[in-house]
Amino acid sequence: MITGMDRLAAAARGEILDRIPVFCNLVDQGARELGMPLETYFSRGEYVAEAQLRMLGKYGHDNVWSLFYVGREAELLGCRKIKYANDGPPNVEDFVIKSYADIERLEVPDDISTHPAFAETAHCLEILKREVGGKAPICAYLTASMSLPAILMSMEKWIELLMLGPTEMRDLLLEKCSAFFQKEIEAYRKAGADVLVYADPYGSTDIVPMSMFRELSLPWMKRDLAAGGLDGVVYYVGGARVNGVLDQVIEEVGFGTYYPGPMDDIGESMRLVADRALCGAVINDIRLIDWTPEEVRAEVKRLVQRGLKISKKLFFGTILMPFGIPDANIRAMIDAACEFGRPDRLEA
Amino acid sequence: MLDDILRAYTEAIYNADRTTALAVVDAARASGVSPEDIVFKVVIPGLDMMIKAINDGFDTNLAQHFMTAHIAADVTDRMLAQFARPPEMVGHVVIGTAAGDLHTLGKRIVMGCLKAQMIDAIDLGVNVPAERFVDEAVARGASVIAVSAMMVHTARGENGAIKVRQLLRERQLEGRIRLVVGGAPFRYDPRLYQIVGADAWADNGVSAARVILDFIKEARS
Ligand code: B12
C-alpha cells in the first residue's frame, strides 16, 4: 500500500505515485473529534495524538501534526498565561517581554526535550511515531527567530522595535530567538518529527520591506538553520505571500519545500520554484467556512490543476484551518485534492 | 513649495523612513510653513496619496502601514502643540479589539491615521465586550464603532461584531452609529464584513481612516 511518506518522497523527486501528497492542517478540530473543550484537549499529548490519528483515518489525507498551538513556544520561554476559546485557537495572553530589560533577562532553555513545557508535545510525538512513524509524515511547527518575538512581546511591540530600534535590543532578542530555534529543532527531530515547518511571516514582503528582508530576514534564516541543516524543513510564512521572495530564498537558503500563501498565484509560484524544490498549492481555508462543497471542489480543482500543469513537484495544503469549517467541506476538500491531484485528471 | 514638501514627505513614508519624514517636516517649519499647513497640506494629503497608491495596486507591506501611521500621529501631535488655536475635532470613534482578541497592532495603525485626520479615537483596549462598544459609543457621542479582529473566531464570533450589530438594532441606534470592521480574516474573505453585519471594512489601517472619515462626514451632514 502506498503511504503518505511514499507520496511525499515521490513528489520531492518530481514523481506522482497514485496522487500528489495532501497536507491538511487540522489542529483545533481534534477537540471536536474527541468531544472535549479545547482547553482540556490541549492539556494532554495523548489527546492530541489520538485525535490526529482518528482524523487521519476519517479524512484520508497524508499527514499528522504535533502542533498544539503556536503559543506553546512562548510557554517554553516562560509565558504563564494562555487565553483559551471555545471555538478557536488559544492565544498568548501574558507577554514574557514587557520591557527591554526583559530581553536581557530572557533565558533560552538548555535542553528543550527535557523541558516540562515540552513534555506533552514529546508524548504526543512518541505516540504518533509509534502508530504511524515512517508511514504518515509527522509535522512540527517552529517559529523563526525573526517572527518569534511577535508572541514574546506582541506583534505591535516587535514591529516597533524592528522599525524604530534600539537596534542592540533587536539584535540581542534575535540572537536569543535563534538560539532557541536551534535547540527547538533539535528537540523536535529527536522526538520524531519528519516535516519541520519553519514559520516566518517576517520572511514575507507582505510584512517587512524588501530592504529589511535582505538585511535581517534572510541572514537570520541562515543562522537559524546553519547548525541543524535543512532536512525536512519547509519554508512557510503564515499565509502571507512568498512569490516576491521565492527566488532569493531558494538561491540563498535552499529549503526543499515551499508553502505559498493563498493570495499567491500558484502558477507563478511553480514557475518561480522551477523544479528546484517541492511547492504547495494552498487553499484559502478561511473561505472553507462559507463555501458550498461544490465550490470547495471547484477551487481545489483549479489550484491543483494550475500547479500540476507546470510541475509534478507539487503537494496540496491548507494554512491553519479555522475551527468553524463544516465537516462536509473538509471532506470535499480532501476528496477533491485526491481526485484531481493526478496527472491523468489534468484537463487541457 | 508645499508641493515639493508633500512629495518629499510622501516618498519618505512610502520608504517607511521616519528620519527623512521628520527632517522634511522640520525643514518646512524652519522655512516658515505653519503647523496647520503641515497637518492639513502635508500629513493628511500624504495619507491620501498612500491610500491612492494602495488602491492603484502598488504593493505595500505592514511595516509601511505601521510607519505611515506612526509618523502621521507623531507629526500631528507635535504640530498640534504649536497650533494657533486648538483645532476642532471632526468627530468621535470608539475602537477596540473584538471579544476574545488580544491583537493590538491593527488598532494602533488605524488610530494613528485617525489622529492625523483630527478624529478623536477613543481606545477601548483589547477583548472588548460588545455591550461596552455600544455603551461607550453612546456615552462619547461616537458616530462610528471600529472593531479589529485577527482571528476567524473573534471576527465571526457571536460576542463580536455580530453582537454589536444586534445591540445597535435593539437600541435603535443604527441610524446614528456605523459599524466598521477590519483585521486579517476580513482580508481573506472580502464578503465577511457583510456576514458579521458591518457597514464597511478596510483592507489596511491607512484606508480604514478614510472609510471612517466618510461615515463621520455623512453623520454630520
Ligand atoms: C504574523 C502572523 C503570526 C505571527 C505573530 C502572531 C501575532 N500577531 O501574535 C505568529 C507566527 C507567531 C503567528 C501565530 C498564530 N497565528 Co498567525 N498570522 C500572522 C500573519 C502572517 C499576519 C498577522 C498580523 O499580525 N498582521 C498584522 C496585523 C496588523 O494585520 P491585520 O490584523 O490584518 O490588520 C491589517 C488590516 O486587516 C487592517 N485592520 C486591522 N484592524 C482593523 C480594524 C478596522 C476597523 C479596519 C477598518 C481595518 C483594520 O489594518 C492592518 C494593516 O494596516 C497572518 C496572515 C496574514 N497574512 O494576515 C496569520 C494569521 C493571523 N494567523 C492565524 C492564526 C490562526 C495564528 C495562531 C492562532 C495559530 C495557532 N493555532 O496557534 C497563532 C496565534 C499566536 C498567538 N497570538 O498566541 C490566522 C488567523 C485566521 C484563523 N485561522 O483564525 C492567520 C490569518 C493565518 C491564516 N490565514 O490562517 N501568526
We report the CATH number of the domain holding residue B179 as 3.40.50.280
Are B111 and B197 in a shared domain?
yes
Q: Is the pLDDT of residue A240 over 90?
A: yes
Please give the mean pLDDT across all residues of chain A.
97
For ligand 1, the distance from its centroid to the CA atom of residue A234, given in whole angstroms, is 20
| Count of positions (residues) in chain A | 348
DSSP H helices, A192-278, are: 210-212, 218-226, 246-252, 266-273
Q: What is the pLDDT of residues A19-64, one digit of tens each?
A: 999 999 999 999 999 999 999 999 999 999 999 999 999 999 999 9
pLDDT for res A273: 98
- The verdict on A205 touching B (C-beta cutoff 8 Å) is yes
pLDDT for res B57: 87
Contact A83 B100 (CB under 8 A): yes
Q: What is the average per-residue pLDDT within A184-198?
A: 97
Identify any residues that bridge with A240 across adjacent strands, giving them in sequence order.
none
Are B58 and B97 in a shared domain?
no
Inside any domain, residue B85: no
pLDDT for res A175: 98
Q: Is the pLDDT of residue B184 over 90?
A: yes
pLDDT for res B220: 84
- The verdict on B188 touching A (C-beta cutoff 8 Å) is yes
Inside any domain, residue B116: yes
Q: What percent of chain A has pLDDT over 90?
A: 98
Q: What is the pLDDT of residues A89-136, one digit of tens each?
A: 999 999 999 999 999 999 999 999 999 999 999 999 999 999 999 999
Instruction: Give the Å distances, CA to CA, from A55 to A22, A69, A129, B144.
Output: 13, 17, 16, 44
**pLDDT bucket at B85, cuts 50 / 70 / 90:** very high
Identify any residues that bridge with A197 across adjacent strands, giving them in sequence order.
A141, A234
pLDDT for res A347: 81
For ligand 1, the distance from its centroid to the CA atom of residue B125, given in whole angstroms, is 17
Q: Strand B91-97's sheet: what is its strand order?
A: B119-123, B91-97, B144-148, B178-182, B200-201
pLDDT for res A216: 98
Are B104 and B71 in a shared domain?
no
- The verdict on A83 touching B (C-beta cutoff 8 Å) is yes
Are B115 and B208 in a shared domain?
yes
Give the number of domains in chain B.
2
* Chain A residues with beta carbon closer than 8 angstroms to that of B156: 289, 324
pLDDT for res B80: 95
Mutate to test the pocket of ligand 1, among A95, A142, A319 (most ligand atoms within 8 A of CB): A319
Are B136 and B197 in a shared domain?
yes
Among candidates A272, A207, A275, which has minimal Cα distance to A239? A207
pLDDT for res B62: 96
Are B76 and B134 in a shared domain?
no
Of B56, B80, B104, the one marking the end of a domain is B80
Are B198 and B101 in a shared domain?
yes
Q: Is residue B148 within a helix (H) or strand (E), and if so which, with residue range?
A: strand B144-148
Distance (Å) from the C-alpha of residue A84 to the closest C-alpha of chain B? 9
**Grid cell of A233 as nine digits:** 524543513
Are B103 and B72 in a shared domain?
no
Q: Is the pLDDT of residue A287 over 80?
A: yes
Q: What is the pLDDT of residues B187-216, one digit of tens each?
A: 999 999 999 999 999 999 999 999 999 999
The alpha-carbon radius of gyration of chain B (Å, integer) is 17
Are B69 and B97 in a shared domain?
no
Mutate to test the pocket of ligand 1, among B68, B95, B150, B164 (most ligand atoms within 8 A of CB): B150
Residues 6+ apart with CB under 8 A from A40: A31, A47
The CATH number of whichever domain residue B8 belongs to comes to: 1.10.1240.10
Q: Is B112 in the pocket of ligand 1 (CB under 6 A)?
A: no
Q: What is the average per-residue pLDDT within B88-98?
A: 96
pLDDT for res A91: 98
Among candidates A26, A8, A29, which has minimal Cα distance to A17? A8
Residues 6+ apart with CB under 8 A from A42: A31, A48, A68, A69, A84, A90
Q: What is the pLDDT of residues A208-219, one digit of tens each?
A: 999 999 999 999
**Grid cell of A15 as nine digits:** 514523481
For ligand 1, the distance from its centroid to the CA atom of residue B63, given in whole angstroms, is 14
- The verdict on B204 touching A (C-beta cutoff 8 Å) is no
DSSP H helices, chain B, are: 2-14, 18-30, 35-37, 44-55, 62-80, 105-116, 130-139, 152-156, 161-170, 184-188, 192-195, 205-220
State which residue of chain B sits closest to A157, comparing Cα positions.
Answer: B105
- The verdict on A323 touching B (C-beta cutoff 8 Å) is yes
Q: Is the pLDDT of residue A345 over 90?
A: no
Domain that holds residue B49: 2-80
Given B59, B100, B189, which is nearest A286 (Cβ)?
Answer: B189
Contact B63 A324 (CB under 8 A): no
For ligand 1, the distance from its centroid to the CA atom of residue B184, given in whole angstroms, is 5
* Chain B residues with beta carbon closer than 8 angstroms to that of A88: 100, 151-154, 157
Are B107 and B183 in a shared domain?
yes
pLDDT for res A343: 87
Q: Cα–Cα distance between A117 and A80 in angstroms, integer?
A: 10
Are B96 and B191 in a shared domain?
yes
Q: What is the pLDDT of residues B3-37, one digit of tens each?
A: 999 999 999 999 999 999 999 999 999 999 999 99
Are B31 and B128 in a shared domain?
no
Upper half-sphere CA count for residue A246 (Cβ side, 13 Å): 27
Q: What is the pLDDT of residues B127-141, one digit of tens each?
A: 999 999 999 999 999
Q: Cα–Cα distance between B180 and B121 in angstroms, integer?
A: 13
Q: Is the dihedral of CA B180, B184, B185, B190 positive or negative?
A: positive
Q: Is B150 in the pocket of ligand 1 (CB under 6 A)?
A: yes
Q: Is the pLDDT of residue B221 over 90?
A: no
Distance (Å) from the C-alpha of residue A18 to the closest C-alpha of chain B? 32
Of B80, B114, B135, the one marking the end of a domain is B80
CB A326 within 8 A of CB A285: no
Inside any domain, residue B86: no
Q: What is the pLDDT of residues B28-75, one digit of tens each?
A: 999 999 999 999 999 999 999 999 999 998 889 999 999 999 999 999
Three-state DSSP at A140 gives strand
For ligand 1, the distance from its centroid to the CA atom of residue B139, given in whole angstroms, is 31
Of B54, B80, B106, the one marking the end of a domain is B80
Q: Is the pLDDT of residue A348 over 80?
A: no
CB pairs A-B closer than 8 Å: 84
**pLDDT bucket at A332, cuts 50 / 70 / 90:** very high
ipTM for the whole complex? 0.96
Given A206, A263, A322, which is nearest B62 (Cβ)?
Answer: A206
Domains of chain A, earliest start first: 4-343 (3.20.20.210)
Inside any domain, residue B113: yes
Q: What is the pLDDT of residues B158-182, one digit of tens each?
A: 999 999 999 999 999 999 999 999 9
